[in-house]
Chain A
């Protein structure tokens, strides 16, 4: 095992990001899709955090705070939308929402 470089983190985040993308595409449960979106954002956070650490530049880590902030606001709205959908249809399965074609 050689020393850990920035490359390692880049690959790790890329893999995590792709996992999130695949999750959004293959799952139909809206909650799990939201979780996959969170995984995508975490991949970005990890990448920014590690680049900032390796470059010795704090701006990247400050950017991560903004992403966290947006993620929190976004998920609050997303879950509110989901609760509204559930009240109307009694389901959070995309198939029951029918016209949603991907």
Chain B
């Protein structure tokens, strides 16, 4: 409860600060509020409240994912201080919309009732429909906003029809009651229930950009301002997969026979589309979009092996993926600010133009490949290990092959960075970029120490 309150009040305060001379204080205010929220969540202050009864639950899963979302949100808001970010939406409104969106993400990580899931998805998405079009006079930005809006609303329609059918079958929206119903009715096939399950799966697959519902992602990621893309590919992806896992592990564990093969098929297809699609990309931004699709496939593997330890594996994987991705987008922002474009060639010689950035980018790419001892390695290790213990051996072998394909395209930015002649003169990072890079890189390196602790906590 306290978390919802802090974030929504913070959003309103940020909006109010545009009156008078408060504009300079916007980002510091938002950062302070977010750090406060993080502290409150970490200490578990007032998270529970009678009002939450039956609607949301801040269990350990929700707390851990809320912390991750808050850290990612703080880092993205920190990037807003960059003076040279091109956007037609004023910084105040951008910060407020990001905060609102983050609130939706936290609702998705903590819901216990389908109305909260639905509202969370919408509160997460609606600010982003707007932010995707933040460069109002650019055609690509317009297209991105429109495409994101239409696919997003389309997906919401599926999610809602699924919810309605589940309600028709079980008579309740509460995840606990649905799970109880599914346990009491272990029939092979209950039309309303299983069709509802499938439609909800489709709706959420759109949100995590899993194939075959991924087609919007590359265009939307490319057309949006890089700072918004960095939010979409980290906070949104983490919130969506957290909601996905929470829904299927809390409401539908008894029906696992019915959905596990669907998820397996979607995961395999997503891995293939994401990794093979990334090979063909020439733009770094699009490459990261396809990388996001392929990692959605790996995250679905964690969903497939619901059981002890799978939530921890999911968290580690999601954290590793999102911090590494954030580094990649900060590099992109810095290169753009230094006059480069979004193509891979713009990265060439980055290691000599700004060694710190080059090292961070290299660490991020190595982590995304899954090189030990970086965070990405442990994510893959736990996710694959869990999936093998649930006898999804063929799928894991396929995923390992796809990771090897991943090596081929993640090496390209590294090669550009270190082995090509510089594309321009050396440049300085802005203070906020340097901070974000440092913090995110520290997480990628130090998360290696966290797995045992996370596994024990969850």
- Whether chain B is bound by chain A comes out as yes
Which residues on A are within 8 Å of B, measured CB to CB? 6, 10, 13, 17, 20-21, 24, 30, 33, 37, 40-41, 43-44, 47-48, 51, 55, 57, 59-60, 63, 66-67, 70, 73-74, 77-78, 80-82, 84-85, 88-89, 97-102
Range of interface residues on chain B? 35 or more
Taking CB atoms and an 8 Å cut-off, the chain B residues in 118-152 that contact chain A are: 118-119, 122, 126, 129-130, 133, 136-137, 139-140, 142-143, 145-147, 149-150
Contact B167 A60 (CB under 8 A): yes
Closest to B121 in A: A70
A48 to B119, CA, bound (A): 16
State which of A55, A78, A102 has its C-beta within 8 Å of the C-beta of B149: A78
A78 to B129, CA, bound (A): 8
Known interface pairs A43-B161, A81-B146, A100-B143; 16 further A-B residue pairs with C-beta atoms within 8 A, sorted by A's residue number: A13-B164, A48-B167, A51-B167, A51-B168, A63-B163, A63-B167, A70-B156, A74-B122, A74-B126, A78-B149, A81-B129, A81-B149, A88-B142, A89-B139, A97-B146, A99-B219
B165, CB-defined interface residue at 8 Å: yes
B173, CB-defined interface residue at 8 Å: yes
Which residues of A sit under 8 angstroms from B427, Cβ to Cβ? none
Q: Assess A73 versus B126: contact at CB under 8 Å? Given A85-B146, A99-B143, A100-B143.
A: yes
Contact A77 B130 (CB under 8 A): yes
Taking CB atoms and an 8 Å cut-off, the chain B residues in 303-339 that contact chain A are: none
- Could you tell me the distance in whole angstroms from the C-beta of A23 to the nearest C-beta in chain B? 11
B22, CB-defined interface residue at 8 Å: no
A89 to B142, CA, bound (A): 9
Which residues of B sit under 8 angstroms from A43, Cβ to Cβ? 161
Taking CB atoms and an 8 Å cut-off, the chain B residues in 387-431 that contact chain A are: none
State which of A30, A47, A67, A101 has its C-beta within 8 Å of the C-beta of B165: A47
- Number of CB contacts from chain A to chain B under 8 A: 110
- Could you tell me the distance in whole angstroms from the C-beta of B153 to the nearest C-beta in chain A? 5
Which residues of B sit under 8 angstroms from A59, Cβ to Cβ? 167, 172-173
Contact A88 B157 (CB under 8 A): no
- Could you tell me the distance in whole angstroms from the C-beta of B52 to the nearest C-beta in chain A? 17
B435, CB-defined interface residue at 8 Å: no
Taking CB atoms and an 8 Å cut-off, the chain B residues in 91-136 that contact chain A are: 115, 118-119, 122, 126, 129-130, 133, 136
Q: Is the interface of A mostly helix, strand, loop or mixed?
A: helix
State which of B119, B129, B130, B165 has its C-beta within 8 Å of the C-beta of A70: B119
Which residues on B are within 8 Å of A, measured CB to CB? 115, 118-119, 122, 126, 129-130, 133, 136-137, 139-140, 142-143, 145-147, 149-150, 153-154, 156-157, 160-161, 163-165, 167-168, 171-173, 192, 215, 219
State which of B145, B147, B153, B157 has its C-beta within 8 Å of the C-beta of A17: B157
Which residues of B sit under 8 angstroms from A20, Cβ to Cβ? 157
Closest to B138 in A: A88
State which of A40, A57, A74, A82 has its C-beta within 8 Å of the C-beta of B161: A40
Closest to A6 in B: B168
- Sample of 12 A–B contacts (CB below 8 Å): A6-B168, A30-B150, A44-B160, A51-B164, A59-B173, A60-B164, A63-B163, A73-B126, A77-B126, A89-B139, A97-B143, A100-B143
Which residues of A sit under 8 angstroms from B147, Cβ to Cβ? 100
Contact A63 B168 (CB under 8 A): no
A44 to B140, CA, bound (A): 33
Best-surrounded residue of B136, B142, B164, B167 (most CB of chain A within 10 A): B164
A89 to B147, CA, bound (A): 15
Contact A102 B215 (CB under 8 A): yes
Q: Assess A70 versus B157: contact at CB under 8 Å? Given A48-B167, A55-B171.
A: no
Contact B171 A57 (CB under 8 A): yes
A98 to B147, CA, bound (A): 12
A74 to B143, CA, bound (A): 17
Q: Assess A82 versus B168: contact at CB under 8 Å? Given A17-B161, A59-B173, A63-B115.
A: no
